[in-house]
Amino acid sequence: MNGTPRTLSRDRIVYALDRQTSPALTIDSGETVRFETHDARTGTITSTADLLEQPHPDGSNPATGPVWIRDAHPLDSLAVRILDIQLADTAFVAVKKHAGLLAQRADKFATRVVRVRDGWIDYSPGIRFPVRPMVGVIGTAPSGDAIETAYPGAHGGNMDNRYVTTGATIHLPIFTPGALFALGDVHAAMGDGEITMVGLESAASVTVRIDIAKGVQVSRPWIEHPEGWVTTGDDPDPAVALRVAAEEMARFLQNRLHLSFEDAYMLMSTTCDVQICQACDPGNFPVTARAVYPRQTEQPT
């Protein structure tokens, strides 16, 4: 980590990524920033008596920011390396009545608040599991209308991708000068699918290094992760979301490994995992998906 990180407090939050928003912080490429983030319900869920009956008046999935990066332009992209995620000592998960992948069985509201300590989740008596911190919302401002932080898209947003974690570098498109980058919605843990509509939602402190990749354009987010290369897709139709992620990976491998489409396609069929990230309400809310090309496959350096 180079020098002391700049800090952006959790009182500088947005509920939409919007090119019209005034920046909360201005930095140069290569600077390190610590983002203090709220949980997905902006701190309003603190006990089992707090239910998801009423939406937060400002929205959900707040992101801290935005950050203006000097000399960032739409012909460039951002490379955001996650250096550290520090979780709060409690987190919550919940069921919303008649919502989520099993909406037909979810006939009542429920909330569980858990302790987070020493890298473990104390879920209930006899049930403990390790934390798996990840950032749910990360993105830049779109070129057109504002997009609520609850939604994913080519700009990033609410991808709910567990590969967005410590040690990963997230490559994001830039659609507007300055990029207007923000992040939030940290999970202490989340299963692929996030089937109740929420993971283990936690306030957090996320430290990142933000670099501009000059002259490097990307069509949508992709991730360099210790386990491999990860491309992304989203659409209300799960099949389309998976197809977008796979198409992005095919193009990526063609360019990175200098392969024909057919060779990239066959390589993917033998090495890649194509997976769902979030599928809380398929058909009505965008499903997010990824394709993962594993690191153990020999790659040119």
- Residue 299 β-bridge partners: none
17 residue type, one letter? L
Entry pTM = 0.95
Contact indicator for 185, 43 with CB cutoff of 8 Å = no
What does the pLDDT read at residue 3? 72
pLDDT at residue 283, rounded to an integer: 87
How far apart, in whole angstroms, are the C-alpha atoms of residue 211 and residue 208? 10
DSSP of the chain:
--SSPEEE-TTSEESEE-TTSPPSEEE-TTEEEEEEE--TTTT---STT--SSS--TT-SS-EEEEEEETT--TTSEEEEEEEEEEE-SEEEEEE-TT-STTTTT--S-EEEEEEEETTEEEEETTEEEE---EEEEEE---SSS-EETTSEETTEEE---TTSSTT-EEEEE--STT--EEEEEEEEE--TB-TTS--EE--EEEEEEEEEETT---SS-EEEETTEEEEEEEESSHHHHHHHHHHHHHHHHHHHHT--HHHHHHHHHHH-EEEEEE-SSTTTS-EEEEEEEETTS----
Confidence of residue 47 (pLDDT cuts 50, 70, 90): very high
Spatial separation of the C-alpha atoms in residues 118 and 131, rounded to whole Å: 9
Residue 179: phi and psi, rounded to 5, are 70, -40
For 72, phi then psi, to 5°, come to: -90, 130
Domain boundaries, the chain: 6-216, 227-295
Q: Among 3.10.28.20, 3.80.10.10, 3.10.450.50, 3.40.50.620, name the CATH number for the domain at 227-295.
A: 3.10.28.20
pLDDT in tens, 220-244: 999 999 999 999 999 999 999 999 9
Pick the CATH number of 6-216 from 2.40.420.20, 2.30.40.10, 2.60.120.580, 3.30.300.30: 2.60.120.580
What is the chain's mean pLDDT, rounded?
A: 96
Using the predicted structure, report yes or no on whether residue 54 has a pLDDT greater than 50: yes
Per-residue pLDDT of 92-150, as tens digits, reads 999 999 999 999 999 999 999 999 999 999 999 999 999 999 999 999 999 999 999 99
